[in-house]
Structure 1
Amino acid sequence: MRAHVVLHAARGRSNARIARETGLHLDTVRTWRGRFAEQGLPGLFDRKRSGRPPSFIPLQAAQVKALACQLPAETGTALARWSCPELAREAVERGIADTVSASTVRRWLSRDALKPWQHRSWIFITDPDFSAKAERVLDLYARTWQGRALGADEYVISADEKTSIQARCRCHPTLAPGRARAMRVNHTYGRGGALAYLAAYDVHRAYVSGRCEPRTGIDPFMNLVAQVMSQEPYASATRVFWILDNGSSHRGKKAADRLATAFPNAVMVHTPVHASWLNQVEIYFSVVQRKAVSPNDFTDLTQVEGRLRAFEDRYNAAAQPSQWRFTTSDLNDLLARLDRHTPGRQDQSSAALTA
């Protein structure tokens, strides 16, 4: 920028014209033109500033950032992921800097929002009918089925099992929170067994029906179905759609036939493989985990079951339906983005459309 000012001045142009053509302020043009006239080329360099000189040059910060953007295994380091202290140590070992602190590395990384100590998991879509299955579930959440709106006597239930809820009897009593003190839970405990919690969540009524079983399986799941379908309004409903994942208790056509045989007005709808996030009952289970069973402090399984039943009543008294905003349009946008970024998926999509 300073050199451009000088070159324009060498062509005999005025300060105002230089400012207009370079987009600089008139005072800026006047300053650098005057300094060049007085000092020549050295006048274009920064003057010495007071204070402590910088300890690191930008190149060192860039090299540490580049190191953070590599997997430790790629560099031959026996780590699963980088931390700021490990990056500082590695930078010194590589000769990037004679010494550097973890706080300095953290400051460098924060400028580019780099957090190599965090990770997110992902998975490829493996279900060839992912789109069709997901659209059926999303349509049911929007109260439609096969292009028609659901009637007032048709219901949508999301069901699943929460496995292995343990009874952990603490060796010392849990202490309630006090002034400037969090609740204290003793780390040592005795095992009192585990049970499975099966729940059926009415998507549009925000009503939960649950039961506890010693273990999961076909019979425990059918017990849950019988418990729900024997109650009103489901017993006399025209249709009750059961949204389920692909767990072994209710997987495949045999499970759908078994449900239809026992209850003719029940329709089983499976989510795609590896897509339990489409099942709204998982939202309820996350609430149960956070509010009812964490921290786990029970004397026996009877107390666990009592807590779950009491929480179920509490939830049903105050719950509102989930504001589910992920629609079929969002699904199509998501799949389109995956097609653009996943090698080979575009060819598969084109082949499917051709077929």
Structure 2
Amino acid sequence: MGRRPEVFVRQVSMAEGRRLQRITRTSKDPVKLRWAIVVLMSAQGQPAPDIAYLLRTSEDYVRDVIHAFNDRGFDALSPKWSGGAPRRIDEQTRDWICVIARCDPRFLGRPFSCWSLTKLRDYLIDAGYVTTISVETVRRVLPARGVSWQATKTWKASTDPDFTAKMRRIHDPYDHPPADGRVLCVDEFGPLNLQPRPGRAWRPAGRPVRLRATYTRDQGVRHMIAALDLATGRLHYRIRDRKRWHEFLSFLKTMRRRWPAEKLYLICDNFSPHKHPEVRTWCAANQVDLVFLPTYASWLNWIEAEFAAVRYFAPNGTDHRTHTEQDTAIGAYIRRRNQRARPRTGFATNSKIRHADYPFKAA
């Protein structure tokens, strides 16, 4: 078989040569840059095989670029990208995919409580919404229309008939600290048993830290009684073996000695030791006002957010073997936290929990 005749670009003018050089220096489109290099090298007398060898491509590719330039000039160096294949899933079908994904599968005759992408794809095909669709397409359609994979959570609605009045009673000292005293949010944290606790940390990829598993825990539990001082943002606490009314009253006496000249307003839940007659009698005689939360409304106690942080940064991710070791770790975190404490103001100012009917609505 004879050798194919060489193909070169047509005669290129000085202006066209400068334009080709400018494209090779400034073009950000890799395809346009490659085509311009082919044309420029051919204009300089390089044969197609040599150009193909230098650019690591085929001779046919080089000849196609040269022919295109000879036919259409510089228009041939501007790629005309098409929009790809036409959509096979129209907008209405995409809407139906999202509607079905939000439905309970059992309502549609499927014997499971949630959709996987594969099960959703199979249902769409079986029900005739589409003739064919990939799992990847379903995965991309859902978030594009605001449907995401979320965990189902529970919400305990308050059954307190005086909820609104009690909630406003809580919000009032939060929003308007009393001039004659100090607001303290009080609660118990625990139980603090000795066990490996899951947590989060930065680790090398693919090398997670594993903690031992425990089945026998015979060292008992402890409890932390704590108070959040809204005026300073500091957290005051005591760790005790039990959390009876005796321990609670002892803690209140400690708080009373800390601020002897101020009236104390204590925000606390309906735990029975908080309402013990001995506690109530002592509080009435020592300028301590107990402000109780509505039933099933512990989230109104500002200290709950502080407990979440204590749990996250102190016990989580640890495996303490003694209560002394665990108590020391918790105390070290709280001391560091108190050094950076700021007064607490603006409780949930933009949250829907400010609405009086919020606790009676399921989340």
State the TM-score, normalized to the length of structure 1.
0.67
Q: How does 1:92-241 map to 2 (within 5 A)?
A: 92-115=125-148, 117-144=150-177, 149-151=178-180, 154-168=181-195, 184-189=209-214, 191=217, 193-230=220-257, 232=258, 234=259, 236-241=260-265
With 213-222 and 130-139 compared, the bigger mean Cα shift is at 213-222
Pairwise CA distance, 1:270:
0.7
Q: How does 1:1-355 map to 2 (within 5 A)?
A: 51-115=84-148, 117-144=150-177, 149-151=178-180, 154-168=181-195, 184-189=209-214, 191=217, 193-230=220-257, 232=258, 234=259, 236-251=260-275, 254=277, 257-260=280-283, 264-326=286-348, 334-335=355-356
Q: How many residues align?
A: 277
Pairwise CA distance, 1:202:
0.8
Residues 150, 51 of structure 1: alpha-carbon distance in 2 compared, 3 angstrom cutoff: closer
State the TM-score, normalized to the length of structure 2.
0.65
Residues 208, 71 of structure 1: alpha-carbon distance in 2 compared, 3 angstrom cutoff: same
Q: Is the 8 A contact 2:269 2:293 kept in 1?
A: yes
3-state DSSP of counterpart to 2:115: coil
Q: Is the 8 A contact 1:163 1:216 kept in 2?
A: no
Pairwise CA distance, 1:156:
0.8
Residues 112, 255 of structure 1: alpha-carbon distance in 2 compared, 3 angstrom cutoff: farther
3-state DSSP of counterpart to 1:165: strand
Q: Is the 8 A contact 2:225 2:251 kept in 1?
A: yes
3-state DSSP of counterpart to 1:223: helix
CA deviation string 1:203-240 (max 9, x = no partner): 1111221112234332232232223223x2x2x22411
Q: Kindly provide the amino acid, as one letter, of the partner of residue 268 in structure 1.
A: L
Q: Kindly provide the amino acid, as one letter, of the partner of residue 276 in structure 1.
A: S
Q: Kindly provide the amino acid, as one letter, of the partner of residue 307 in structure 2.
A: F
Q: Is the 8 A contact 2:249 2:279 kept in 1?
A: no
Q: Kindly provide the amino acid, as one letter, of the partner of residue 104 in structure 1.
A: T
Residues 218, 267 of structure 1: alpha-carbon distance in 2 compared, 3 angstrom cutoff: same
Q: Kindly provide the amino acid, as one letter, of the partner of residue 290 in structure 2.
A: M
* Stretches of structure 1 lacking an aligned partner (at least 5 in a row): 1-48, 343-355
Following the alignment from structure 2 to structure 1, what is the Cα–Cα distance between the partners of residues 291 and 278? 10
Following the alignment from structure 2 to structure 1, what is the Cα–Cα distance between the partners of residues 105 and 353? 36
CA deviation string 1:67-116 (max 9, x = no partner): 11212332343433334343223323434334433331222111221125
Following the alignment from structure 2 to structure 1, what is the Cα–Cα distance between the partners of residues 351 and 144? 32
CA deviation string 1:302-347 (max 9, x = no partner): 21111122222222222112342446x97897226889x89xxxxx
Q: Is the 8 A contact 1:259 1:267 kept in 2?
A: no
3-state DSSP of counterpart to 1:88: helix
Pairwise CA distance, 1:177:
5.8
CA deviation string 1:39-67 (max 9, x = no partner): xxxxxxxxxx9742323233432322221
Q: Is the 8 A contact 2:194 2:221 kept in 1?
A: yes
Q: Kindly provide the amino acid, as one letter, of the partner of residue 221 in structure 1.
A: F
Q: What is the aligned-residue identity percentage?
A: 24
Q: In angstroms, what is the RMSD of aligned CA positions?
A: 3.4
Structure number with larger C-alpha Rg: 2
Q: Residue in 2 aligned with 1:12?
A: none
Q: Is the 8 A contact 1:166 1:296 kept in 2?
A: no
3-state DSSP of counterpart to 2:193: strand
Q: Kindly provide the amino acid, as one letter, of the partner of residue 101 in structure 2.
A: A
Residues 212, 325 of structure 1: alpha-carbon distance in 2 compared, 3 angstrom cutoff: closer
* Stretches of structure 2 lacking an aligned partner (at least 5 in a row): 1-81
Pairwise CA distance, 1:275:
1.8
Pairwise CA distance, 1:273:
1.6
3-state DSSP of counterpart to 2:195: strand
Pairwise CA distance, 1:182:
6.9
Residues 332, 208 of structure 1: alpha-carbon distance in 2 compared, 3 angstrom cutoff: closer
Q: Is the 8 A contact 2:263 2:288 kept in 1?
A: yes
Q: Kindly provide the amino acid, as one letter, of the partner of residue 292 in structure 2.
A: H
Following the alignment from structure 2 to structure 1, what is the Cα–Cα distance between the partners of residues 103 and 295? 32
3-state DSSP of counterpart to 2:194: strand
Following the alignment from structure 2 to structure 1, what is the Cα–Cα distance between the partners of residues 328 and 156? 37
More strand by share: 1
Q: Residue in 1 aligned with 2:14?
A: none
